A = this chain, B = another copy of it.
Amino acid sequence: MAMTLYDLCGRDERLRFSPYCWRVRMALTHKGLEFTSVAWRFLDKKALAFADYDKVPVLCDGDQVVTDSFEIMRYLDKAYPEAPVLGEGVSYQRVLLFKYFVERSVNPALFRIIAMDLFAAVHPDDRSYFRDTREARFGCTLEEFHQPEQGKQQLKQALAPVRDLLRESTFLDGDAPSGSDYLLFGSMMWAHVVSTQAVVEPGDPVEEWFKRMLNVHNGAASNALTVRDI
């Protein structure tokens, strides 16, 4: 039976940009698991009441309801152990550290670059919710937070270790993509879908890797609708 993934959408229902949903989509695709996605918006809290949760992604797999993107990846590894994405033991610990790296060092830099693009991409009815929650988190207005050049510098510095690794590896996890790749790729898709800004410089190994990632699993992510298509 196909699974159901509740996935954030924007002003166009086909616009899917959540970094957390993208990492799950890629993990599902990695394992060859079919899923139906349900477009969800920030204020649709009621639609998630069944999960006792108020954010996406939420995955329904038969009777199982799993919340939180990393928990979903972990669940998928346990329920469908073939082609692990996170792995176990030391391998799992190391990708858990990388998850924190993506969330603590990469995502804040990306947010600086795309804050106003994100605001424009969310559904008009969701915009005041988006503005209020983010401004409370940042302690300043979205307009003040939006500093693309500063964000690009911050991102360039944060990604230095990733760039080093990609000079000797095709994917972060080796010859084929796996959990680490999906975690970073999810965040890069966030920017790719909502913004026309190049977040890294042309020729950057991260840019080359991102293009390779768009093509893996039969180009699963390459057909994603972006703001350039609307």
Contacts and interface: CB of A to CB of B under 8 A. Distances in A.
A45 B24 CA distance: 52
Give the interface SS of chain A, mostly helix, strand, loop or mixed.
helix
B174 A97 contact: no
Q: How many copies does the complex hold?
A: 2
A122 interface: no
Given A87-B90, A91-B87, A105 B172 contact: no
A23 B91 CA distance: 19
Given A105-B161, A160-B105, A161-B105, A173 B94 contact: yes
B100 A164 contact: yes
Given A87-B91, A93-B169, A100 B174 contact: no
Contact of A91 (B90, B100, B101): B90
A56 interface: no
Interface of A: 87, 89-91, 93-98, 100-101, 103-105, 157-158, 160-162, 164-165, 169, 172-174, 178-180
